[in-house]
Chain A
Amino acid sequence: MLKVSNLSVAFDSTIIVDNVSFTVGTGETLAITGPSGIGKTTLLHAICGIIRTTHGTVHIDNVDVTSLPTHKRGIGLVSQMGDLFPTMTVSQNIEFGLRIAKMPKTDRIARTNELLEMVNLVHLAHRNVAELSGGESRRIALARALAPYPRVLLLDEPLSGLDQETHDALINDLARVLKQTATTALLVTHDHSEAELLAETIFTFPHK
Chain B
Amino acid sequence: MAELLARHHLVRTTKPLLIAPVAFLSVFFVVPVVNTFLRFFSFSELRDVLSSQSFRGVAWFSLWQALFSTIATLAIGLPATWALSRFTFRGARLARGILTAPFVLPAVVVAAGVLAITDSRGVGPIIWAHVVFNVSVVLRIVGPRWSMVNNRLEHAAGTLGARPSRTFALVVWPQISEAVINAATLVFIYCFTSFGVVAILGGVSRRTLESEIFIQAVRLGNTSTATALAVLQAVIVGAVLFSTRQRSHAASSSERLSDPQELRTKPTHRLIPLIITATVILIVAAPLAATIYRSLVVNNQFSVSAWRTILSGSLPALSVSPQSVITTSLVFAVAAACICVPLSLLVASTSAPSALFSLPLVISAATLGIGLIITFNTAPFAWRSERWLIPVIHAVIALPLVIRAIDPAVHAIPRSLRNASATLGASPFITWARVDMPILKPAILRATGLSMAISLGEFGATSFLSRSGSTTLPIAIAQLLGRPGVATQQAGFALAALMVLVTVGVMSRA
Contacts and interface: CB of A to CB of B under 8 A. Distances in A.
Interface of A: 9, 11, 16, 37, 39, 41-42, 45, 48-52, 69-77, 79, 81, 83, 85-88, 96-97, 100-101, 141, 144-145, 147-148, 150, 154
Contact of A45 (B2, B421, B425, B428): B2
Q: Max chain B CB contacts within 10 Å: which of A45, A50, A77, A81?
A: A50
Contact of B425 (A11, A83, A85, A97): A97
Contact of B439 (A9, A45, A86): A86
A51 B1 CA distance: 11
Given A81-B416, A85-B435, A86-B439, A9 B5 contact: yes
B422 A16 contact: no
B5 A97 contact: no
Contact of A76 (B416, B424, B426, B427): B424
Interface in B413-436: 414, 416-417, 419-428, 430, 434-435
Q: Max chain A CB contacts within 10 Å: which of B2, B8, B416, B430?
A: B2
B204 interface: no
B424 A144 contact: yes
Q: Max chain A CB contacts within 10 Å: which of B5, B6, B421, B425?
A: B425
A205 B427 CA distance: 31
A85 B425 CA distance: 15
Given A11-B8, A45-B6, A71 B422 contact: yes
Nearest to B430: A100
Given A76-B424, A101-B425, 20 more contacts: A11-B5, A41-B1, A42-B5, A48-B419, A48-B423, A51-B6, A51-B9, A69-B427, A70-B419, A70-B422, A71-B422, A71-B425, A79-B420, A81-B416, A83-B420, A96-B434, A141-B420, A144-B420, A145-B424, A147-B424
Given A9-B5, A51-B9, A77 B423 contact: yes
Interface string B47-77: 0000000000000000000000000000000
A37 B1 contact: yes
B38 interface: no
B440 to A, nearest CB: 10
A148 B420 CA distance: 13
Contacts of A83: 414, 416-417, 419-420
B355 interface: no
Given A79-B419, A83-B420, A148 B425 contact: yes
A30 to B, nearest CB: 18
A-B residue pairs, 7 tightest by C-beta:
A97-B424, A70-B422, A87-B438, A77-B423, A100-B425, A41-B2, A83-B420
A96 B416 contact: no
Contacts of B414: 81, 83
Interface residues of B, number: 25
Nearest to A73: B423
B4 interface: yes
A50 B422 contact: yes
A51 B5 CA distance: 7
Contacts of A81: 414, 416
Given A45-B419, A77-B419, A83-B419, A96 B6 contact: no
Contacts of A145: 423-424
A96 B424 contact: yes
Contact of B419 (A9, A42, A50): A50
29 contacts: A41-B2, A42-B2, A45-B2, A45-B6, A48-B422, A50-B419, A51-B2, A52-B9, A69-B422, A70-B419, A71-B422, A71-B424, A71-B425, A71-B430, A72-B425, A83-B414, A85-B417, A85-B420, A88-B438, A96-B421, A96-B424, A96-B426, A96-B434, A97-B425, A100-B424, A100-B425, A144-B424, A145-B423, A145-B424
Interface string B418-462: 011111111110100011001100000000000000000000000
Contacts of B417: 83, 85
A181 B153 CA distance: 55
B434 to A, nearest CB: 8
Interface string B74-85: 000000000000
Given A79-B419, A83-B419, A71 B6 contact: no
Nearest to B8: A11
Q: Max chain A CB contacts within 10 Å: which of B6, B416, B423?
A: B423
Contacts of A87: 438-439
Contacts of A88: 438
A79 B422 CA distance: 13
Contact of B420 (A37, A41, A77): A77
Contacts of A52: 9
A100 B420 CA distance: 13
Interface in B279-294: none
A49 B426 CA distance: 13
Contacts of A86: 439
B383 to A, nearest CB: 41
A50 B426 CA distance: 13
A150 B425 CA distance: 10
Contacts of B420: 77, 79, 83, 85, 141, 144
A97 B421 CA distance: 8
A145 B416 CA distance: 14
A11 B4 contact: yes
Contacts of A85: 417, 420-421, 435, 438
A45 B424 contact: no
Nearest to B413: A86
Nearest to B425: A100
A34 B1 CA distance: 16
A73 B5 CA distance: 20
Nearest to B422: A70
A100 B426 contact: yes
A74 B425 CA distance: 7
Contacts of B419: 45, 48, 50, 70, 77, 79, 83
Given A79-B419, A96-B421, A71 B427 contact: yes
Interface string B1-22: 1101110110000000000000
Contacts of B5: 9, 11, 16, 42, 45, 51
